[in-house]
Chains A and B, each alone.
Chain A
Amino acid sequence: MVFDVFFLQQVINGLSIGCVYALMAIGFTLIFGVLNVVNFAHGEVYTIGAFVGLMVITALAPPLLAVVPLVLAVGAVSGVGLERIAFRPFRRFTDEASQKSRAMREATLLSSLAVSIVTREIMMHIFGGDMQGIPSGYLLQQPVAIGPIMVASGSLVIFATSAVMLGALQFLLYRTQTGLGIRAVSNNQLGARYVGINTDRTIVTTFAVGSMLGATAGILVGLYDGAISPHMGFAPGVKAFVAMVMGGLSSIPGAVACALLLGVSESIATEFLSSGWKDLITYSLLVITLVFFPQGLFGHGRERA
């Protein structure tokens, strides 16, 4: 093994995969944080973002920057809808026994799974199961040479977007009243209600913001990947989930760091082993991390499960 330019290229390849995971992990972690429930349908919001983006592009051919606000709006709407259908009905039980009940929590988890199955199948009926190509003017695939290293323009866009999203979210969470509310609800929902926070509205806001980020991630990754399909959300969704937990659940920068770590480890693993084995390395890394850091790399405090 030589640490030559090819190796450096592998690290860059890894970072670009990691950025894709990170982009998805940001919204995912935000939503998880507020309800402490895994949102299985986040991958579908991501897919919806990609398809709506493509529909707009093929119908109107607007400049790329004009697509983004539209996708953001669609993301927000689908986030609110998702919360209304799959999550709110389970908050109708307000007694303490139900709130502590594990059956209730797992039911919420599976309700989002069921919603995601239905959404995915409906999208397949509308768009077909085949991959859809992106009009070439919008592809983010131009090779960019940085010295001897090659990067696709999409990787740079995704990297920049992740950074902007992360910054904006940190600002929202730590510098605004809304963010304070989100943090309060995520810390203790009952307590937040007692001090007069409208928890329902806060949760809806979080879903809207998280899904906006998810939908944007979908269209950007679609433009970068060159093809979108109704199943595109599943694989990065699992990796985003893993990154979130490795990062310690509550920490969005932690999730981003872990997403990058996962991407780099995948690509370095391919360098040494056959690429079929790369997931073994990724998941070993996850398990080892959890064994030594039971609260994730950036988590803190014992959660009373």
Chain B
Amino acid sequence: MRKNAILGAVLGAMLATTAVQAADREIVIGYQAPLSGDRSQYGEMFRNAAQIKLEEFNASGKLAGAKVAITFEDSKDDPKEARNIAHKFLDNSKIVGVIGDFSSTVSMAAGEIYAAEKMPQLSQTASHPDFTKLSPWQFRNITTQAFEGPYNADWIIAAGKKTAAVIYIQNDWGISALDGFVSGFKAKGGKITATEAFNPGNRDFRSILTKVARQKPDVIYLAMFYEEGAAFAQQREQLGIKIPLYGTSSLYSPKLIELGRESVEGLHLATTFTPDNPDPAVQTFVKEYAARFKSEPGMFAAQAYDAVGIMLDAVAKAGPSVTRESLRDALAATTGYPGVTGATSFDPVTREPAKALAKMMVKDGRFQVVTGP
């Protein structure tokens, strides 16, 4: 997989150089992501997706008179390294915008610097409520849990389920997912039987499951990533607990089914990205990704693909003489960007994205779109 990625990067770079040989200006976008350490699988997906989008863009000729390149830096999911990278990017006058980082803690550590030094930053995944409040220079294209939580709550209530237990990962994203869901669920008259946090890195959920099962909630709502989600579903099956599972869009990945197998059957989640979507943009991306990296893209890859797309679109709008200021303004003006995760618009005041969600469930070993409740 890595070899392919490197090969892809080299090929891409070669293609890009030959395609726009006459280009008189090189515009660079910085991309910081964990490419080593224990979160490197996410950084790897981001880089794969970004590579595809970049080549598409440079081949499309949307930006005449300049070519765009992306510089990747490995943050190791370490705030200390992220700060160094932030300054490295700032020093490079060719870099007009930055995408990344992965986790909110790291994104915000770098974000404080970008805010002070005026560099537009777009994160594909940072969901900390304060991230876009750092400064007008921060953007994200992931829907916040303040939107997704109530949506899922409505869905569960509409299915006639009245009580829920929430299991969430103890990080900023998990807490906002908890808040979003609980407030939405209570507003609709639902009852929360338990909320249980677990620390990042935890792989054993049997104790939590046993504890939660005691109160016999109608559903268990999972706010966690797909690796934990698969382990959770498997252990639920081993303990013979039959309570249905609902989850956040972060569970949406082909890996969930690959790891969880039969145990994830019947899991419900709402997502902005569905590979079955007949939209040609989605189909092109899914085919290209599968051809190069031998796997179906998940939510994280799609997020990165769109983040790069939004960034490059803004570059194109700002023109070949783009600066950090003009790129920021162009980003802020993004309306209805037609991405694979749906149309993205940034709210003029909060710079929060708004997107449409699709309901899905795991059925017969694959994700299928659900119609109706």
Binding site for B on A (CB under 8 A): 6, 9-10, 13-14, 16-17, 121, 124-126, 128-131, 133, 136, 141-143, 145, 150-152, 225-227, 229, 231, 234-235, 266-267, 270-271, 274-276, 278-279
**Which single residue of chain A is at the shortest CB-CB distance from B295?**
A130
A121 contact set on B, CB distance < 8 A: 36
Beta-carbon contacts under 8 Å, B54-90 to A: none
Task: List residues of chain B with CB within 8 A of the CB of A274.
Answer: 195-197
Q: Are B259 and A133 in contact (CB under 8 A)?
A: yes
Contact A13 B210 (CB under 8 A): yes
Q: Which residues of B contact A266 (CB under 8 A)?
A: 207
Q: Is the CB of B259 within 8 A of A270?
A: no
On whether the beta carbons of A235 and B201 are closer than 8 Å, the reply is: yes
Chain B contact residues (Cβ within 8 angstroms of A): what range?
35 or more
Q: 15 additional contacts, CB 8 Å, given A131-B227, A235-B203, A276-B197?
A: A6-B213, A6-B214, A9-B239, A17-B204, A128-B1, A133-B258, A141-B238, A142-B238, A145-B240, A150-B239, A150-B240, A151-B238, A152-B238, A275-B199, A276-B198
Check B317 for interface membership: any CB of A closer than 8 A. Answer: no
Q: Cβ of B207: which chain A residues have Cβ within 8 Å of it?
A: 10, 13-14, 266-267, 270-271, 275, 278
What is the distance, in angstroms, from B293's C-beta to the closest C-beta of chain A?
10
Q: Which residues of B contact A131 (CB under 8 A)?
A: 41, 227, 230, 255, 259
Q: Is the CB of A226 within 8 A of B38?
A: no
Say whether B170 faces chain A, with CB atoms less than 8 Å apart.
yes
Among residues of B, the one whose C-beta sits closest to the C-beta of A144 is B238
- Least CB distance from B167 to A in Å reads 9
Task: Among A6, A129, A229, A278, point to the contact of B210 (Cβ < 8 A).
Answer: A6
With A and B bound together, what is the CA distance between A225 and B238 in angstroms?
A: 11
CA gap between A117 and B367 in the complex, in Å: 37
Query: By the criterion CB–CB under 8 Å, are B240 and A130 in contact?
Result: no
Contacts of B314 in A (CB 8 A): none
Cβ of A276: which chain B residues have Cβ within 8 Å of it?
170, 197-199
Q: Quote the shortest CB–CB distance from A233 to chain B (angstroms).
A: 11
Cα(A143)–Cα(B239), bound, Å: 7
* Complex interface: chain A residues within 8 A of B261 (CB): 133, 136
Give which listed residue, A231, A234, A275, A279, contacts B196 with CB less than 8 A: A275
B255 and A130 contacting across the interface, CB-CB below 8 Å? yes
Report B354 CB to chain A, min CB distance, Å.
31
Output the nearest chain B residue to A235 by Cβ-Cβ distance: B201
Given A129-B41, A275-B196, A276-B198: A226 in contact with B210 (beta carbons within 8 A): no
Closest to A272 in B: B211
Contact of A124 among B40, B170, B227, B259 (CB under 8 A): B40
| Interchain residue pairs with CB less than 8 A apart (29) | A9-B239, A13-B204, A13-B206, A17-B206, A124-B36, A125-B2, A128-B2, A129-B40, A129-B44, A130-B41, A131-B230, A133-B259, A133-B261, A150-B239, A152-B238, A226-B230, A227-B259, A229-B227, A234-B38, A267-B207, A270-B208, A274-B195, A274-B196, A274-B197, A275-B196, A275-B197, A275-B199, A275-B207, A276-B198
Bound together, the chains give a CA A271 to CA B240 distance in angstroms of 18
**What string of 1s and 0s marks CB contacts (under 8 Å) between B241-284 and chain A?**
00000000000000100111110000000000000000000000
Residue B39 at the chain A interface, CB threshold 8 Å? yes
CB-based contact A9/B36 at 8 Å: no
Let me know if B92 is at the binding interface, CB within 8 A. Answer: no
Answer yes or no: B117 CB below 8 A from chain A CBs.
no
Q: B262: nearest residue on chain A (CB-CB)?
A: A136
**Is residue B331 within 8 Å, beta carbon to beta carbon, of the partner chain?**
no
B234: Cβ under 8 A from any A Cβ? yes
In the complex the two chains form, is B237's CB within 8 Å of A143's CB?
yes
A141: B residues at CB distance < 8 A: 234, 237-238
CA distance A205 to B234 in the complex (A): 38
Q: Indicate if B220 sits at the interface (CB-CB under 8 A).
A: no
- Complex CA gap A241/B214 in Å reads 33
Interface flags for B177-213 (1: CB within 8 Å of A; 0: not) read: 0000000000000000001111101111011101101
Q: Give the complex CA separation of A20 and B39 in angstroms.
A: 23
A271 contacts which chain B residues (CB < 8 A)? 207, 210-211
**A14 contacts across to B, CB distance below 8 A:** 207
Please state if A226 and B231 are interface contacts (CB–CB under 8 Å).
yes
Contacts of B41 in A (CB 8 A): 128-131
Query: How far, in angstroms, from A126 to B39 measured CA to CA in the complex?
Result: 16
A-contact bits for B1-44, CB 8 A (1 contact / 0 none):
11000000000000000000000000000000000101111001
Whole-angstrom CA separation of A231 from B39 in the bound complex:
10
Query: Which chain A residues border B234 with CB–CB below 8 Å?
Result: 141, 226
Minimum Cβ distance to chain A for residue B235 (Å): 8
| Residue among B2, B199, B203 with max Cβ neighbours from chain A (10 Å) | B203
Chain A residues whose C-beta falls within 8 Å of the C-beta of B210 in the assembled complex: 6, 9-10, 13, 271
